[in-house]
Amino acid sequence: MTVPKSISSAKTLNPVKTPLQINKQVDFAAICESSCDSINLKKISASLFEVVCIDGTTHRTYEIIKDGNDDYFKIGAAYVGGIFDGDNVIGAILLSQGSNKEFAISITANGETQWIPDHGVGVAFAVEAMSIEVDGIPIDWVSMANNAKVAGEKIVVRQHCYCRFSNVNIAEFRVDYTVGLDSTVKYGWAFKALQVLHVNTAYSLMLPTNQDVLLTAVTALKNSITSSGDESTIYFTEEKQLIKSAGWLSSTNVNYIAGGTTGNPENTMFVWQRALEPKIYFRPVSNIDLVTGDVLTGNGIIGVAEITNIYGTIMQ
């Protein structure tokens, strides 16, 4: 198998416009969908961009932020707020900045174990420069001035990186992010082994929240737990490998929601009750061996929103 040239056409779930999907499961990504008027690509610095979905005087913003130790740009903080003097102002941060969301894979190769992407040691290095397109037109993001904006209706970010352990390229991966007028981030990734290696665990969707705003994790079956912050891990037994969606709500900040839906089947879903940035995980793969040419793929949708009493709507 070969890594596809582009993953932007990778199969994703078809979101619906109501809270209930097949088998009466809640689709949190679909709930977060909402038509916006336009999208701005905004350059903050060489290592940080914002994708701002503007709907009148409000916005939903998703960061694209570079890892500190290598070349990879991941999905950063996601927040909602108002538009003032033409700029997006933070109202509430709903997904935290530093923790991975779109994928993470623990790999052992040549006697070394690391997480991909970066978990403190640089492992992802560009095969070719990251590309950004606005409405199908390539943008020279390197030359953009800080705080410059490019407006459009669809923004696509593409990356192709080597996974490098001790100067050896043990794998490669491609990742696409697409933000359209439905105000969510759709992503797809493909990871290809360049030698024999072991996958300790792989996550296809992660949702690290801001504990000061959202603290109740809710599954697609509407089972829930309010994170205690005691660092323990909670598995939902009824869900087993049946669900593909989950989200964060609050019984006090009832109008906010952060959620995601993965396209990967047979996921084990759990919540790590961290004191800071408690996190939902979907794990489709663990403890498998790959040989040269083997490919793992994943895709999903992430969204945030401010919706009147969304907590009551879902939890009723």
CA neighbor of 298 nearest in space, from 261, 260, 259, 264: 264
Please state, for a pLDDT cut of 70, what percent of the chain lies above it: 93
Tell me the two tokens of residue 214: 């959202």
In the predicted model, is pLDDT for residue 121 greater than 90?
A: no
CB distance 174 to 160 below 8 Å: yes
- Is 78:62 a contact under the CB 8 Å cutoff? yes
Q: What is the pLDDT of residue 2?
A: 33
Rounded CA separation 187/103 (Å): 10
**Annotated domain spans of the chain:** 22-315
Q: What is the pLDDT of residue 237?
A: 79
Look at the pTM and tell me if it is higher than 0.75. yes
Which has the closest alpha carbon to 88: 64, 57, 65, 63? 57
67-102 pLDDT, tens digit per residue, is: 989 999 999 999 999 999 889 999 999 999 989 999
pLDDT of residue 213: 97
Q: What is the mean pLDDT of the chain?
A: 90
Q: What is the pLDDT of residue 311?
A: 97
Residue 33: the pLDDT is 96
Strand partners, 258: 248, 304
Per-residue 3-state assignment (H helix, E strand, C coil) for the chain: CCCCCCCCCCCCCCCCCCCECHHHCECHHHHHCCCCCEEEEEEEECCEEEEEEEECCEEEEEEEEECCCCCCEEEEEEEEEEEECCEEEEEEEEECCCCCCCCEEEEEECCEEEEECCCCCCCEEEEEEEEEEECCEECCCCCCCCCCEEEECCEEEEEEEEEEECCEEEEEEEEEEEECCCCCEEEEEEEEECCCEEEEEEECEEEEECCCCCCEEEECCCCEEECCCCCCEEECCCCCCCCCEEEEECCCCCCEEEEEEECCCCCEEEEECCCCCCEEEEECEEEEEECCCCEEEEEEEEEEEECCCHHHHHHC
What pLDDT shows up at residue 161?
97
The whole-number average pLDDT for the span 157-162 is: 98
CA nearest neighbour of 257 among 206, 210, 188, 203: 210
Model pLDDT for residues 201-251, shown as the tens digit of each residue: 999 999 999 999 999 999 999 999 999 999 999 998 788 788 899 999 999
pLDDT for 66: 95
What pLDDT does 208 receive? 97
| pLDDT band of 267, cuts 50, 70, 90 | confident
- The pLDDT of residue 64 is above 50: yes
Residues 161, 164: Cα–Cα separation, whole Å: 9
Question: What is 22-315's CATH number?
Answer: 2.70.98.60
Whether 10 shows a pLDDT value over 50: the answer reads no
Nearest to 210 by CA among 52, 77, 61: 77
Q: What is the mean pLDDT of residues 253-276?
A: 93
Model confidence pLDDT, tens digit, residues 185-198: 999 999 999 999 99
Task: Check: CB of residue 54 under 8 Å from CB of residue 196.
Answer: no
Looking at residue 189, its pLDDT comes to 97
Give the pLDDT mean for 145-149.
96
**Closest by CA position to 268, among listed 302, 238, 226, 298:** 238
